[in-house]
Amino acid sequence: MKKRFIYVFALALSALSLQCDQLVNSELKPDAKERGIDYKIILNDESGTMQKLTGKNIVCNALIHIKSNTLGTEYTAATDSNGVATFHDIISDDYHISASRDLSADEMELVSGHKVAGYKLLNRKCGVIKLLANNTLPVEVSMEAVFAGSPIVISEIYASGPQGSGLYYHDKYVELFNQSDSVQYLDGLIIARVYSSEVYGINYRNDPEFIHSEAIWYFPGNGKDYPIMPGQYIVCAEDAIDHRINAPNSIDLSHSNFEFFKDDAPDVDNQAVTNMVKFYQPSGNDWIIGGERDALVLARIPAKSLVIKGSQYLIPYSSILDGVEYLKDPTMLNKKTLNDAIDAGAAGGIQFYTGKSMERISVTVGGKTQLLDNNNSSLDFKIIDHPTPGYHF
């Protein structure tokens, strides 16, 4: 369960800074001939944490990472004692931004009276900024204190279907990773698809509180029946079979950890692989995720406590451990359906039936594998040439 303190504000999504663009203008294309200029980004903490620590709202000693939405070029800089980071020779574009400052247990004790680890100041409300050549003022980005150590993350989504087997696409899976130092339990954890309708142009990206879903499954167990060990990957397969029998270029998922078996449909059930529990999915013959675009969330909340509205169940943002959106063209962020506080960017850019997959970028910190988790899939994910069920590329 995500630990939170009262002073950590609920996700207030309305008060976005004017310079923080939630919707990206897809018309904006960088001009290759344009000369790069220097930009300053200033970080302000709106949660009162830095005020308590330093008497000012500016955030010093923070790391800022930006990535051009169109060109993919990346830059990193640290903020100085005035909370300002300077980036040199930058071309105008929309930039994904992740700004982060660790809060030590000693600092947390000063702020909250509790000596707790795992908190950070993050730019949860603002994942994309616009840097324009004619703007010489510092771009302001707001920060808030959050518990940032989700122990379990979505490490890979494979959905495109294999090469050379016609329209075969039953080898989809989602993979999870325990990146904490302790045993975690999957029991009751929800995997849900984020609802959107391209046909009717409906999505709930700007809902201030809830994910809307028409496909909710959860892990079986009564609390401690299904452990995931530190550093372990867990594969949840659409069908836990050896797909190479039907599609030679596909993969063997018969040893998956879990399987989505839709008991009210003509679906296959490998008796040797534990089934996920279907809580709600009124349509479709299986757990199917989009081949080129979709959004998934992982939530820690009892499914039976969820409320239904119309044809969709509502999942509170506060219960979400991780969320990943992927798009056919991940630079078209105006097509996003998942709220920016959960995922400010998008993975993807994979065509149908290419056998390609997307996984979180791994970094080694102190000899230990960590997967990037900036709540921005544009920064955190990369495309890989083939699926890697149960391991990393």
Binding site for Ca ion (CB under 5 A): 156, 175, 238-239, 259-260, 267, 269-270, 273, 275, 286, 388
Output 108 or 154, the one with its CB closest to Ca ion.
154
The answer to whether residues 323 and 300 touch, using CB atoms and an 8 Å cutoff, is no
Q: How far is the CB of 313 from Ca ion (least distance, A)?
A: 20
Nearer to Ca ion, 150 or 256 (CB): 256
What tokens does 71 get? Answer: 């060109």
The minimum distance between CB 153 and Ca ion, in angstroms, equals 12
Closest to Ca ion by CB, 156 or 340: 156
Q: Output Rg (C-alpha) for the chain, integer angstroms.
A: 21
Coil vs helix vs strand at 249 = coil
To Ca ion, the closest distance from the beta carbon of 155 in angstroms equals 6
Q: Which residue is nearest to Ca ion (CB)?
A: 388
Nearer to Ca ion, 22 or 275 (CB): 275
Shortest spacing between CB 31 and Ca ion, in angstroms = 38
Give the Cβ contact number of residue 159 at 10 Å: 26
Shortest separation between residue 170's beta carbon and Ca ion, angstroms: 7
Q: How far apart are CA 82 and CA 57, in angstroms?
A: 10
Structure token digits, residue 5: 């303190």
Residue 83 or residue 389: which is nearer to Ca ion going by CB?
Answer: 389
Of 175 and 322, nearer to Ca ion (C-beta) is 175
Nearer to Ca ion, 130 or 244 (CB): 244
Nearer to Ca ion, 273 or 338 (CB): 273
49's CB contacts (< 8 A; 6+ apart) are: 103, 111, 121, 145
Residue 124 gets which letter from DSSP? T
Tracing tokens 């800089």 back to the chain, one arrives at 77
* 3-state secondary structure (DSSP) of residue 323: strand
Closer by beta carbon to Ca ion, 67 or else 262? 262
CA gap 250, 237 in Å, rounded: 13
The minimum distance between CB 63 and Ca ion, in angstroms, equals: 27
| 177, β-bridge pairs | 153, 233
Q: Which residues of 26-62 are buried (b: 16+ CB within 10 A; e: fewer)?
A: eeeebeeeeeebebbbbbebbbebbeebeeebbbbeb
Provide the CA 207 distance to its chain's centre, in angstroms: 17
> At closest approach, how far in Å is the CB of 248 from Ca ion?
21
CB of 154 to Ca ion, least distance (A): 10
Residue labelled with tokens 């406590």: 305
Closest CB 196 distance from Ca ion, rounded Å: 22
* Residues whose CB falls within 8 Å of the CB of residue 188, separated by 6 or more in sequence, listed in order: 218, 219, 221, 223, 300, 302, 303
DSSP summary character for residue 10: P
